[in-house]
Amino acid sequence: MNLLPPAGHLPALLDQSPDALRAWFADRGQPSLRVKQVRRWVLAGRAESFEQMSDLPRDVRAELARHFAPLGTRVERHLVATDETHKLLLRLQDERLIECVLIQEPPRRTACISTQVGCGMGCVFCASGLNGVVRNLTTGEILEQLVRLRNLTPAPDGRLSNIVVMGMGEPLANLDNLLEALDVAGHKDGLGIGARHITISTVGLPAKIRRLADLGKQYHLAVSLHAPNDLLRTRIVPTNDKTGVPEILAAADYFFEKTGRQVTYEYVLLGGLNDGPREARELATLLQGRKAHVNLIPFNDVEGLPYVRPTPEAQATFTDTLRRAGLSVKVRKRKGSEIDAACGQLRRKVEQELAPATV
């Protein structure tokens, strides 16, 4: 960490490592406990300015304000759906945009966060990857999504209960920064969200899945499968041609063996493409005998893409086929549909609004 910000911006506090902050305070004759104080104010105390950090001396607060930004992101848009789903479009210090979502299903409050600006996986149904990947998010940028979503909950005791890493980007392509952020989020002086309440989604990077398994953490793994065979999956997820369904499933099996945690397989139902009885039977055969849960996701319409939601009949037949095979299945409810809560949609819309008109 300890990153240099773009010109004209102060470094974001959460992008400074504790060691770097400790050295910064020491240079100013301040005790090391200041590191814990200032980070706790941002992570647990809802402070969005140094002036709010009332247990710090006034001169220390002023010095911090001259050198750091308590939060490096700013809220570009904040939308609230009728079901109390919140979506934040955050502008980063380099003017890029990312999305994060707060899903409220009492007593759970789940933060859905991004790990990259854009995405390089190229899934054909997803708005996030339409313009490719720009860069990885820093540890601080990942943490700030959690902080800003937590700050939407009722003060003083409102908190996040769960994290799903299912926003923009491929989480395992930015694994180092993600793991560092999740370690901070799980700490008692952070957000206090344990690994068993955190789900990491992936399009299926076998080597990274195995690395995640070897950490010995109790994260939940969700594999974005979307098809039961390589021919169809490569049409939907182009990066599949570098891996393949058997290799991905073998890595997921390894994750289960090492962690004991059931693997979830995400499957976006695209009307007329992967939602037929044949695909359902093939998927059932593929996953039978595995400790697996299937999360079926009816496609959310994305402007400019040619795909459609499955019919209710196709969705019901697909679901019943899997259940008759003895698989655990859930159909995801639509949340926040009127606020473009599906991944990447709001960012794309705003970027199109702000783009210069062509003559």
Can you read off the two tokens belonging to residue 298? 């009816």
**pLDDT tens string 256-278:** 999 999 999 999 999 999 999 99
What values do phi and psi take at 118, rounded to 5?
80, -165
CB of 341 within 8 A of CB of 335?
A: yes
Considering only the top CATH level, what class is 13-67? mainly alpha
Distance separating alpha carbons of residues 60 and 122, to the nearest angstrom:
47
Q: Is the pLDDT of residue 4 over 80?
A: no
pTM attached to this predicted model: 0.93
> Using 50, 70 and 90 to split pLDDT, how confident is the model at 35?
very high
Identify the pLDDT of residue 359: 42
Q: Is the pLDDT of residue 119 over 50?
A: yes
- The SS3 assignment for 266 reads strand
Report which of residues 80 and 357 the model is more confident about: 80
Across-strand partners of 198? Answer: 163
Q: Which residues are designated catalytic?
A: 99, 343
> Using 50, 70 and 90 to split pLDDT, how confident is the model at 2?
very low
Distance separating alpha carbons of residues 52 and 73, to the nearest angstrom:
18
Can you read off the two tokens belonging to residue 169? 């980007």
Task: Region of 4 please: left (phi>0), alpha (psi -120 to 50) or beta.
Answer: beta
Identify the pLDDT of residue 337: 64
Identify the pLDDT of residue 129: 82
In what helix (H) or strand (E) does residue 240 lie, and over which residues does it extend?
A: none
> Using 50, 70 and 90 to split pLDDT, how confident is the model at 3?
low
Domains 13-67 and 74-333+344-352 share a fold: no
DSSP string, 183-222: HHHHSTTTT---GGGEEEEES--HHHHHHHHHTT---EEE
Q: Alpha-carbon dihedral of residues 189, 190, 192, 193, nearest 10 degrees?
A: -160
What 8-state DSSP symbol labels residue 95? Answer: S
Question: CATH number of the domain at 74-333+344-352, please?
Answer: 3.20.20.70
For the chain, domain boundaries: 13-67, 74-333+344-352
Q: Is the pLDDT of residue 329 over 60?
A: yes
Identify the pLDDT of residue 342: 61
Helices 312-324 and 277-287 sit at what angle, rounded to 10 degrees?
A: 30
Which contacts (CB < 8 Å, 24+ apart) does range 313-317 have?
A: 314/269, 314/271, 314/275, 314/276, 315/269, 315/275, 317/277, 317/280
Scored b (16 or more CB within 10 A) or e, 214-253 reads eeebebbbbbbbbbbebebbbebbebbeebbbebbbebbb
**pLDDT tens string 44-75:** 999 999 999 999 999 999 999 999 999 999 99
Identify the pLDDT of residue 194: 97
Q: What is the mean pLDDT of residues 7-22?
A: 93
Work out the mean pLDDT of the chain and round it to a whole number. Answer: 93
